[in-house]
């Protein structure tokens, strides 16, 4: 298969590849976010969410678990869409990155911003938090798309 051609895949294969990509993307996004928030003496969002859910001393592990599961689900949904909509098929690394950037922005708008506005009401006024989260969601979308494409392109059975 040429590097610029879109791998042909079913929704089922896209979902599996997206789940793997989503796990990798959420781990990398989470580690970068964790390092940044720790350097500022703050707590990462998903651990705060776990505390708000009443997980107490299990909030760190629970927050990471929620984050990774969310990344898996979002990655699977994202790649299911790319399997059905030819315009979003991941042809070439450049297109994969572009589609991943768009996916990251969509996740930020549709999931993160509404969630944070409900769970941590004053946080929408923090530009640094919003911009940082946007960048991290773009990182997530990009990594998810590139990893998923790698699995699909190689024909790896998932």
Domain boundaries, the chain: 11-153
Q: Tell me if residue 18 falls in helix, strand or coil.
A: helix
Q: What is the pLDDT of residues 103-138, one digit of tens each?
A: 999 999 999 999 999 988 888 888 888 999 999 999
Q: What is the pLDDT of residues 49-106, one digit of tens each?
A: 999 999 999 999 999 999 999 999 999 999 999 888 888 888 888 999 999 999 999 9
Separation between Cα atoms, residue 25 and residue 65, nearest integer Å: 14
Task: Give the global pTM.
Answer: 0.89
Residue 152: alpha-carbon gap to chain centroid: 18
């Amino acid at each position: 298969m040429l590097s610029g051609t879109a791998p042909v895949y079913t929704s089922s294969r896209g979902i599996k590849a997206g789940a793997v990509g989503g796990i990798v993307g959420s781990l990398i996004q989470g580690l970068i976010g964790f390092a940044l928030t720790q350097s500022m003496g703050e707590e990462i969002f998903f651990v705060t969410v776990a505390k708000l859910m009443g997980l107490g001393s299990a909030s760190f592990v629970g927050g990471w678990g929620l984050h990774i599961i969310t990344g898996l689900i979002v990655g699977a949904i994202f790649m299911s869409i790319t399997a059905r909509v030819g315009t979003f098929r991941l042809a070439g690394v450049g297109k994969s990155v572009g589609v991943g950037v768009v996916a990251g922005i969509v996740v930020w708008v549709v999931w993160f911003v509404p969630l944070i506005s409900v769970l941590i009401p004053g946080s929408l006024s923090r530009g640094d938090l919003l911009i940082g989260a946007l960048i991290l969601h773009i990182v997530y979308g990009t990594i998810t798309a590139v990893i998923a494409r790698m699995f699909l392109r190689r024909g790896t059975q998932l």
